[in-house]
């Protein structure tokens, strides 16, 4: 069984990333906090970084992690607070907000808001640890609360980036252009069409994740779930089978910049563009995983109706805060179900 889950809140204080700390201090001496960081999060043993394996990424509403926490150096910075969710070390876990920035005074990991996250370090860390498939949980606002109510969970099959800035590992030499040249040691490519039904590995993995989380509905945590319009206990968290939903019932994740919530005018625009839910992080992760050929399945928990659409007395922000405090049991049940399902999956051994 997975080890007990716990994730203490990091201390507050002036902080920035390990990479920034090291560069500012120069190569001769790293700051004391950087050394403390490596004491708190020792480098993951090399023989533990061999794959293949799976990963779960959590967000602001996920309060689980394994007992031991490690660090992994990447070409894009240090990732910390990396843990395993199972005794066989088959499922890795990262909290996107608590893995790339540390407190300058203590060396302890600290919260990083969406616009500050080092997505490249986070995703490359998981790739370097042999991750071949990834599931992410996210907190979102509903653009259509009449159809996707607060308290529901959906599985987006497409995304829209409000600010479509380049998010890529390029020009790292391991990245190809239209394909990965294995003879050159390349593991990814930068020109591709994301979230398409022709991507058989991604489509299959979505269906597998859909089946993995079904036991949550029968758990005590499942009692607080609300269904989106068209969802049934047989199809949740999709509308229909995961392989059919992409065309018949699309669910679009709109990735805003953050860290503020969206304006009412922006919400109206995103609704008109066909958006379903709004978040601030996952399209970046999705893009980078796609560059590396890693199937990425997203489960979005709806914590509030978007600005101008909420009927909560305190508005969208207060609705989010109120709901966030009550979803720990649900997200933990989802993670437990994912771990139970992922550890039974087989992945091909890496090529010799």
Q: Are strands 175-176 and 158-161 parallel, antiparallel or unpaired?
A: unpaired
Nearest to residue 111, comparing CAs of 60, 61, 70, 68? 60
pLDDT exceeds 80 at position 303: yes
User: Tens digits of per-residue pLDDT, 219-232?
Assistant: 999 988 999 999 99
Share of the chain above pLDDT 90, in %: 71
Q: What pLDDT, on a 0 to 100 scale, did the predictor assign at position 206?
A: 95
Contacts of 287 (CB under 8 A, 6+ apart): 167, 168, 194
Contacts of 60 (CB under 8 A, 6+ apart): 97, 139, 324
Q: Give mean pLDDT, residues 44-54.
A: 88
Mean pLDDT of 268-294: 97
Above 50 in pLDDT, residue 9?
Answer: no
Least confident range of 13-22, 32-41, 48-57, 164-173:
13-22
Q: Give mean pLDDT, residues 16-42.
A: 59
Residue 29 has pLDDT above 50, yes or no: no
Question: If you average pLDDT over residues 239-267, what whole number do you get?
Answer: 89
Number of DSSP helices (H) and strands (E) in the chain, helices first: 9, 14
Residue among 96, 124, 125 at smallest CA distance from 188:
124
Nearby residues of 46 by Cβ (< 8 Å), 6 or more positions away? none
Q: Distance between CA atoms of 240 and 231, rounded to whole angstroms?
A: 7
* Structure tokens given for 2: 């997975």
Asked whether the predicted pLDDT for residue 155 surpasses 70, the reply is: yes
Distances, alpha carbon 242 to alpha carbons 33, 156, 165, 203, 215, in Å = 46, 10, 29, 7, 16
Give alpha helix (H) positions in 151-302: 200-212, 242-248, 264-272, 282-291
pLDDT of residue 31: 58
Give 62's contacts (C-beta < 8 A, 6+ positions apart).
95, 137, 331, 332, 335
Mean pLDDT of 310-327: 89
Task: pLDDT band for 32, please (50, 70, 90 cuts).
Answer: low
């Amino acid at each position: 069984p997975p080890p007990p889950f716990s994730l203490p809140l990091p201390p507050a204080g002036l902080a920035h990333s390990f990479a920034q700390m090291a560069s500012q201090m120069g190569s001769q001496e790293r700051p004391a906090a950087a050394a403390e960081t490596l004491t708190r999060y020792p480098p993951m043993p090399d023989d533990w970084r061999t794959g293949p394996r799976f990963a779960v990424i959590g967000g602001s509403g996920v309060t689980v992690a394994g007992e031991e926490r490690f660090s992994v150096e990447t070409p894009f910075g240090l990732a910390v607070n990396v843990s395993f969710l199972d005794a066989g070390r088959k499922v890795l876990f990262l909290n996107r907000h608590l893995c790339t920035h540390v407190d300058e005074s203590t060396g302890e990991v600290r919260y990083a808001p969406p616009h500050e996250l080092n997505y490249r370090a986070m995703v490359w860390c998981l790739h370097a640890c042999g991750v071949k498939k990834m599931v992410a949980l996210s907190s979102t606002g509903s653009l259509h609360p009449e159809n996707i109510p607060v308290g529901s969970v959906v599985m987006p099959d497409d995304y829209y980036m409000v600010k479509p800035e380049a998010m890529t590992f390029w020009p790292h030499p391991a990245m190809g252009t239209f394909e990965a040249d294995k003879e050159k040691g390349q593991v990814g490519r930068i020109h591709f069409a994301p979230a398409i039904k022709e991507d058989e590995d991604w489509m299959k993995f979505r269906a597998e994740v859909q089946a993995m989380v079904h036991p949550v509905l029968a758990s005590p945590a499942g009692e607080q779930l609300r269904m989106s319009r068209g969802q049934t206990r047989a199809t949740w968290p999709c509308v229909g089978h995961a392989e059919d939903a992409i065309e018949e019932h699309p669910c679009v994740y709109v990735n805003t910049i953050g860290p503020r919530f969206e304006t009412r005018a922006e919400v109206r625009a995103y609704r008109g563009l066909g958006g379903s839910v709004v978040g601030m992080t996952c399209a970046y992760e999705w893009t980078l995983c796609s560059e590396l050929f890693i199937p990425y399945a997203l489960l979005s928990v709806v914590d509030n109706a978007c600005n101008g659409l909420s009927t909560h007395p305190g508005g969208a922000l207060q609705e989010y805060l109120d709901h966030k405090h009550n979803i720990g049991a649900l997200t933990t049940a989802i993670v437990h179900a994912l771990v139970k399902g992922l550890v039974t999956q087989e992945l091909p051994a890496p090529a010799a």
